[in-house]
Structure 1
Amino acid sequence: MDITITTNPSEQDVKDIRDGVIQHNLSKLGEVFFTDFACFTYYADGTKSGGLTGEILGQWLSIKFLWVDSESKGQGIGSKLLRQAELFALEHNCHSSLLDTFSFQARPFYERHGYQVEMTLRQHPIPTSERYFMTKTLSS
């Protein structure tokens, strides 16, 4: 058996691996709800001013990426995107949310929105930063 390492896997390569893991997980979890989702905000000209991607697995929301364009920071867009994702999760019977963020990103933002640090990886990805894994109990 040959093993190949590539630094530029195709979208199909990534999809094949992800689908394999999902199928394995579902075989162990039984019938559990799973979906990817995204929500966006736009400038008047139609370009994106912000967005959030995530997934729901069972009764957990997982925030993958939350981004707000630098020109729109401080206008509440990130808060609105996060709340929309949480409401979407509540509509799909989620009780909790999880995410991760780096020390140079948005820990205080998430703490203001009720997230608590569950685990800290020190010196990740470089010696001068940390990565925080955070959770929140969802409520309407």
Structure 2
Amino acid sequence: MEYKLDIEPSDKDINEVRSGLIKHNTPFLEGIPKSQVGYYALEGDNKVGGIIADLWGNWLLIKFLWVDDSMRGKQVGGKLLQLIEEYAQTQGCTSSLVDTLSFQAKPFYEKHGYECQMVLENYPVDSSLSFLTKTLNG
């Protein structure tokens, strides 16, 4: 057997490894519904905010939440979070998970009922990464 370091893996290489992992995981996870959803804040035709998440089983997994600088302090982020949580509940989600870097939005999520479950210090170098969860009430 031979081992090879690749400091610039191609998309094909990455997909091959990912496909192998998916094949291994499928018997354990098949039948669990998964979908992607987005909610957007619009000013005319322009997006001034948005949230992207996965719905996986009973969980809302928040991936991205962005609000344009011009909309900061106008509760746009809070409204987007509320709307996606409400939608997730209609789809059977009972819990939500988000991760955020220390210079991003930990206090924002805590203000909206999220509780910190774990913090990775010095991630990736001199920041920290917090994992927060919330029980969604229907």
> Given the two structures, how large is their TM-score scaled by the length of structure 1?
0.84
Contact preservation (8 Å) 1:38, 1:51: yes
Question: What residue in structure 1 maps to residue 32 of structure 2?
Answer: 32
Q: Give the Cα–Cα distance (whole angstroms) in 2 for the partners of residues 23 and 85 of structure 1.
A: 30
Question: What residue in structure 1 maps to residue 61 of structure 2?
Answer: 62
Q: Secondary structure at the match of 1:111?
A: helix
- Identity, % of aligned positions: 40
Deviations 1:94-119 (A, max 9, x none): 11000001111111110011000000
Q: Secondary structure at the match of 2:51?
A: strand
What RMSD, in angstroms, separates the aligned Cα atoms of the two structures?
A: 2.2
Contact preservation (8 Å) 1:26, 1:32: no
Question: What residue in structure 1 maps to residue 122 of structure 2?
Answer: 123
Max Rg structure: 2
Is 1:50 aligned to 2:52, yes or no? no
Question: What residue in structure 2 maps to residue 109 of structure 1?
Answer: 108
Question: What residue in structure 2 maps to residue 133 of structure 1?
Answer: 131
In the alignment, residue 34 of structure 2 is paired with which amino acid?
F
In the alignment, residue 36 of structure 2 is paired with which amino acid?
D
Q: Give the Cα–Cα distance (whole angstroms) in 2 for the partners of residues 23 and 84 of structure 1.
A: 34
Residues 69-108 of structure 1 correspond to what in structure 2 (within 5 A)? 69-108=68-107
Q: Secondary structure at the match of 1:90?
A: helix
Query: More displaced, 62-71 or 87-96?
Result: 87-96
Structure 1 residue ranges without an equivalent (≥5) = none
Q: 1:33 to 1:16 in 2, by over 3 A?
A: farther
Q: Secondary structure at the match of 2:78?
A: helix
Deviations 1:13-59 (A, max 9, x none): 76666565445433212311111111111112x11100111101111
